[in-house]
Amino acid sequence: MRRHFVAPSILAADFSKINDAIDLINSSEADYIHVDVMDGVFVPNLTFGMLVVEGLKKVAQKPLDVHLMIVQPEKYVEAFQKAGADIISVHYEACPHLHRVIQMIKHSGAKAGVAINPHTNVELLEDVLEDLDQVIIMSVNPGFGGQKFIYRTIPKVRKLKQMINVQNTSTLIEIDGGVGLHNAEAILQAGADILVAGSSVFKSKDPSKAISELKAIGSSKNSFV
Ligand code: DX5
Ligand code: ZN
């Protein structure tokens, strides 16, 4: 069976008890900690910057998957890597010189990812795919947690998976927004490797169990391979 990964998004956690949320992820079956950086310009919301990432890094025992929803991300790539980002993803829509930014991320020592908004065609990534460790397919419009999953993004996962197979790259497909037990199997069947889950984990009664349930999808006999 193909293995998949779970990346809880701390955007949905209670920031007055952020240590508890990180401890919970540390001792769970989660594979990464998804960190949403928003600048109030690229997206209509503000979250946090390098200082918070640096603080998270001190307590995190899982890699930090930092999703930059900011304009001119090239200005901050190095600083986020220094702060402790293990994977840095920038938005296609925010980078007129995408190839250059990807090289900057790789040069910094972090793994490189590109995120695409729901309306952005995956084929636009054809010429940079070989350089990417991951692609984030946004399944909501970026900016907020707790939104409804846009089902039109599932065929995009399928198409991207085909492109990855054709080019024979090791790029992972991450899906971000509105992911939960109700749709995770369909997403994984389409070819996704990493499930980002904010509300479905942290707004549930038992976040640790929610993570385990997302990890367990596909492990029964009749599921996808
Ligand atoms: C949206 C963020 C997502 C968000 C996911 O802009 O990029 O990572 O935290 O949260 P849920 O799972 O609640 O949609
Ligand atoms: Zn995100």
- Return the CATH number at 85: 3.20.20.70
CA dist., res. 25 & res. 11, Å (int): 13
Backbone Cα Rg of the chain: 16
Q: How many domains does the chain contain in total?
A: 1
Query: Does residue 167 sit within a domain?
Result: yes
Here the tokens at position 87 are: 């994977």
153 lines ligand 1 (CB under 6 A): no
Query: Does residue 222 sit within a domain?
Result: no
Ligand 2 centroid to 224 CA: how many Å? 26
Atom of ligand 1 minimally distant from the CA of 198: 12
Contact 69, 143 (CB under 8 A): yes
118 lines ligand 1 (CB under 6 A): no
CA dist., res. 121 & res. 183, Å (int): 21
Of all ligands present, the nearest one to the C-alpha of 8 is 1
Atom of ligand 1 minimally distant from the CA of 146: 13
Query: Does residue 28 sit within a domain?
Result: yes
Query: Does residue 112 sit within a domain?
Result: yes
Query: Does residue 128 sit within a domain?
Result: yes
Measured CA distances, 122 to 61, 68, 135, 161 (Å): 32, 18, 9, 10
Query: Does residue 60 sit within a domain?
Result: yes
36 classed as catalytic: yes
Question: By residue range, what is the domain housing residue 156?
Answer: 5-216
CA dist., res. 131 & res. 102, Å (int): 7
Query: Does residue 127 sit within a domain?
Result: yes
84 lines ligand 1 (CB under 6 A): no
Q: What is the mean pLDDT of residues 207-221?
A: 91
* Sign for the pseudo-dihedral over CA of 220, 156, 148, 35: positive
In this predicted model, what pLDDT tens digit does every residue of 69-85 receive, in sequence order? 999 999 999 999 999 99
Q: What is the mean pLDDT of residues 49-60?
A: 98
Query: Does residue 14 sit within a domain?
Result: yes
Measured CA distances, 119 to 71, 152, 190 (Å): 18, 9, 18
In this predicted model, what pLDDT tens digit does every residue of 9-32 receive, in sequence order? 999 999 999 999 999 999 999 999
Atom of ligand 1 minimally distant from the CA of 142: 6
User: Has residue 223 got a pLDDT over 70?
Assistant: no
Report pLDDT for 222.
46
User: Has residue 201 got a pLDDT over 50?
Assistant: yes
Report pLDDT for 2.
77
111, β-bridge pairs? 87
CA dist., res. 4 & res. 216, Å (int): 9
Which residue's structure tokens are 């995009």?
156
Which residue's structure tokens are 């980078």?
95
What stretch of H or E contains 139?
none
65 lines ligand 1 (CB under 6 A): no
Report pLDDT for 195.
98
Pick from 176, 174, 215, 180: which is nearest to 192 by CA? 174
- Which residues hold their Cβ within 5 A of ligand 2, which is an ion? 36, 67, 176
In this predicted model, what pLDDT tens digit does every residue of 126-154 receive, in sequence order? 999 999 999 999 999 999 999 999 999 99
